[in-house]
Amino acid sequence: MKLDLHYNLKQLHANTLPYTNHFVPCHNTDETDANPKDLEKACVTPLNGTWSFDFYEDVEAFEQALHHKGDGELTVPGVWNLKGYDQIQYVNIKYPIPFDPPNVPADNPCGYYQRNFELATLYPEQDHQYVLNFEGVSSAYYVWVNGQFAGYSQVSHSISRFDITDLVAEGPNTIAVLVVKYSDGTYFEDQDMFRHSGMFRDVYITERPARRIEDFKLDTTLNTSENTGQIHIDIRKQTGNPAISYALFNPKGTLVEKETLEEQATISIDAPDLWTAETPSLYTLHLITAEEIIVQKVGIREVKIKDQQLWINNQSVKLRGVNYHDSDPITGYAVSEERLIEDLTLMKEANFNAIRTAHYPKSPRFYELTDQYGFYVMSEADLETHGVVMLYGDENTEDFNLIANNPKYEAPILDRVTASIVQLQNYSSIIMWSLGNESGYGQNMKKAAKLAHQLDATRPIHYESAFYAEGGENFSELDVISRMYPSPSEIKKRYLTNKKMTQPFILCEYAHAMGNSPGGLKAYHELMENTQPLLAHLYGSGAITR
């Protein structure tokens, strides 16, 4: 086959399954009692570990190679730039390649991964489904199973899933993945960060029964006058018409309610333990079918914007947050659970209560931990097109809307926003969605904001670059007003004393330090603390990364 999908805006994916909320089911109650991690469950065949690896300077060299020797080895999750292949690159604003979307340079380094595997379980007589999952690959990749093309995908920080039921067999199987450094996705992933390439998050196969839940959404609401909380269950897609029931356990593990379930149900709880960053109480919901139990932690909390403030559970809340990149000095994009816990613990010790996932969605495990540790999370789409302002030399913000306003780029923008919301919709720590970072503003971003509200009406929508709308800042489609790096005096004059301001103000970045420590923090802090609640009661701190 001709390997040309990675520079084709008309086909962003090939053979991928539709986006659904992320979950890995259990097979029995023994697993739910033991609470295993996803890759430890009986239905999972993990593909992490050592893969054979061939590095090529460009895709043409790969295509012309008669044999792929697999002389090298790489660990998955991991990146090849920190293992002696290619080079490490840091880019802030400029694109790493010439601006010619969707084309990419012929000199496009790529890595070819191969390994053998045997399925953990195999039920050919029961028509079970086998789904190949990639949680993060930069920047785009082609997949073959047992020598047959399985599919293609992009969006580096997104889960992609492939149905490989007809490609796998009992006994030894092979999988091969070609990862390309540059793709048309590169034009939408111009974040200020070190650039790495490879399969940097978990890779695994899940086995699913013929009758199964495919997608579900959980929402929570409060009735303050009656001191009750509600968990709303919506089974949005199923296959094979399974009989479904649910069981809900309180944070102490006591059964609250167990009932059969059709497509929707509402569980009402008297005097619920509410989830906040200070009291991250989690209920446990089991969605039960004949062959599976899906376990989902649920924090009962309600998010609202009113009176120019952010309210969590009817309490006005200020956000003291950090912008958090996936960045490890040894492993790059591949951030271990131990490193995540270390960082979250440090944030707690420093009295931070919020995280913006700068500038892309994190792994599912990250959100499980922020649910558990208690952080208000603004989860951001994997979207940045900042490089358009540097196309002709010096920075020119008049070009900021070049991609945001061109219908040619609508599909990839909406795809990235959809992926960022649908897959992560059931994590309670997420209190706000961000459409992306530094990508200008225009009709594509307006459609993205509308889509985000349709996908999830329970959380506010953020996007700072509406400041660059043609004709002047336009936050009318968004739920908060957001800025980066304005001075305290500008904030006060432009927003805090502006009687026309109806949305809360968030300072999504304001203290960006590379090397020396930044100054001015005292002035920002005093402004934030001394501002009356009806003005700018919502704020966030700046790009503080490890």
Of 65-79, 112-126, 223-237, 409-423, minimum mean pLDDT range? 112-126
- Give percent above pLDDT 70 in the chain: 96
**How big is the chain by its Cα radius of gyration, in Å?**
23
pLDDT in tens, 454-490: 999 999 999 999 999 999 999 999 999 999 999 989 9
Instruction: Decide: 461 and 508 in contact? Cβ < 8 Å.
Output: no
Confidence band, pLDDT 50/70/90 cuts, at residue 350:
very high
Confidence band, pLDDT 50/70/90 cuts, at residue 354:
very high
Known catalytic residues are 438, 509
Q: Per-residue pLDDT averaged across 426-448, rounded?
A: 98
SS3 526: helix
Measured between alpha carbons, how far is 385 from 410 in angstroms, rounded to an integer?
A: 13
The rounded Cα 289 to chain-centroid distance in angstroms is 28
Structure tokens at 507: 């300072």
Taking each continuous run of H as one helix and of E as one strand, the counts in the chain are 8, 31
Provide the whole-model pTM: 0.96
Question: Residue 364 — φ and ψ, nearest 5°?
Answer: -55, -35
Question: Residue 19 — φ and ψ, nearest 5°?
Answer: -65, 135
pLDDT at 533: 45
pLDDT at 536: 40
pLDDT in tens, 167-179: 999 999 999 999 9
Alpha carbon separation from 311 to 269, 302, 387, 507 (Å, rounded)? 21, 8, 36, 17
Confidence band, pLDDT 50/70/90 cuts, at residue 20:
very high
pLDDT at 535: 38
**Mean pLDDT score across all residues of the chain:** 93
* Residue in 470, 426, 433 with CA at minimum distance from that of residue 448: 433
Q: Per-residue pLDDT averaged across 270-277, rounded?
A: 98
Alpha carbon separation from 337 to 36, 37, 107, 176 (Å, rounded)? 14, 11, 35, 26
pLDDT at 125: 61
Measured between alpha carbons, how far is 403 from 443 in angstroms, rounded to an integer?
A: 10
pLDDT at 47: 98
Q: Write the single-letter amino acid at 408.
A: K
Position 124 pLDDT exceeds 70: no
Maximum CA extent, the chain: 72
Measured between alpha carbons, how far is 132 from 488 in angstroms, rounded to an integer?
A: 49
Confidence band, pLDDT 50/70/90 cuts, at residue 542:
very low
Task: List own/partner pairs for 83-89 with CB under 8 A and 24 or more apart.
Answer: 85/53, 85/55, 85/109, 85/111, 86/55, 86/181, 86/197, 88/194, 88/195, 88/196, 89/194, 89/195
pLDDT at 33: 87
3-state percent helix, strand, coil for the chain, nearest multiple of 5:
20, 30, 45
Alpha carbon separation from 213 to 156, 346, 363, 444 (Å, rounded)? 26, 38, 22, 33
